[in-house]
Structures are given as structure tokens and as C-alpha cells.
């Protein structure tokens, strides 16, 4: 993805649709949320969201990827970024969005210390 290339702006309403996930996916998403929340090492507030620093463990990276794969179904207004730092560095999950998307993250029980949230 080239950040120098202009992207088309798409209006997406800020509304979670938990029913976009099956019952199995919902349960898995809750488990992933708990796992990732426990692993957060740092939270950075961004203009339009938050970045969550996680441990470099490969299981955490897989959990972050699975979390994003599910979360994008029920919360399509979020934009996700996963960064894996070199030399065994941490994994970062960035969740951002236009309009009121950041408020959804802030409404989380512990937005300042948690890794994302579920609808």
C-alpha cells in the first residue's frame, strides 16, 4: 500500500453490527479481545484513533490478525493497521476511523489501557 497514492474517501456510518458475526465468531472475538487486552504494553492516542503496542510473540501476532479479520465485519468504519517491528520488536495494532469512530474506542471500559474493543 503506497501512502502517497490518494485514496477515495468512502462514507461509512459509525455503527457496530455484532450480528455480522456468527455466534462462534462472536465468542472467538470476545476471547481474542480478552487475550489482546491482557497483552497491551502501551497505548498511543492518535488524532483519529489509537495504536496499541503488543508483545512480539508470534501467537499475539496471529491473534491480532484474527481479531482484525472479525472486527472489520462488525465495525466496517474502522481502518486497521498491523505493524511488526524489525529485529523481534513489538506488534502494533492501529485502529482509526473518520468522524465518531474514535469515540467508539473511547467508550471501551478501559480504552486508555486496552487493546481495542468489541461491539
Helices (DSSP H) in the chain: which residue ranges? 23-39, 58-74, 101-106
Residue 115 inside a domain? The answer is yes
Could you tell me if residue 48 is inside a domain?
yes
pTM above 0.85, yes or no: no
Q: In whole angstroms, what is the distance from residue 77 CA to residue 16 CA?
A: 8
Task: Confirm whether 62 is domain-assigned.
Answer: yes
Measured in whole angstroms, the distance separating CA 37 from the mean position of its chain's CA atoms is 11
Which grid coordinates belong to 30?
470476545
Number of structural domains (the chain) is 1
Asked if the structure places residue 21 within a domain, the reply is no
CATH code of residue 67: 3.10.28
Q: Is residue 5 part of a domain?
A: no
Q: Is 119 helix (H, G, I), strand (E, B) or coil?
A: coil
Domain membership of residue 3 (yes or no) is no
In a domain, 78, yes or no: yes
Report helix, strand or coil for 43.
strand
DSSP 19: G
119 residues of the chain, pLDDT tens digit each: 455 555 566 677 787 899 999 999 999 999 999 999 999 999 999 999 999 999 999 999 999 999 999 999 999 999 999 999 999 999 999 999 988 888 888 876 444 434 444 45
**72 is a domain residue:** yes
Amino acid at each position: 500500500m503506497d501512502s502517497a497514492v490518494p485514496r477515495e474517501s468512502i462514507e461509512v456510518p459509525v455503527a457496530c453490527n455484532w450480528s455480522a458475526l456468527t455466534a462462534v465468531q462472536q465468542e472467538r472475538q470476545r476471547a481474542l479481545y480478552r487475550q489482546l487486552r491482557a497483552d497491551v504494553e502501551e497505548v498511543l492516542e492518535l488524532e483519529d484513533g489509537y495504536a496499541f503496542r503488543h508483545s512480539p510473540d508470534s501467537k499475539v501476532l496471529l491473534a491480532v490478525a484474527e481479531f482484525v479479520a472479525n472486527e472489520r465485519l462488525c465495525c466496517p468504519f474502522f481502518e486497521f493497521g498491523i505493524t511488526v517491528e524489525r529485529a523481534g520488536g513489538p506488534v502494533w495494532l492501529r485502529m482509526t476511523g473518520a468522524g465518531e469512530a474514535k469515540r467508539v474506542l473511547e467508550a471501551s471500559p478501559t480504552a486508555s489501557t486496552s487493546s481495542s474493543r468489541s461491539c
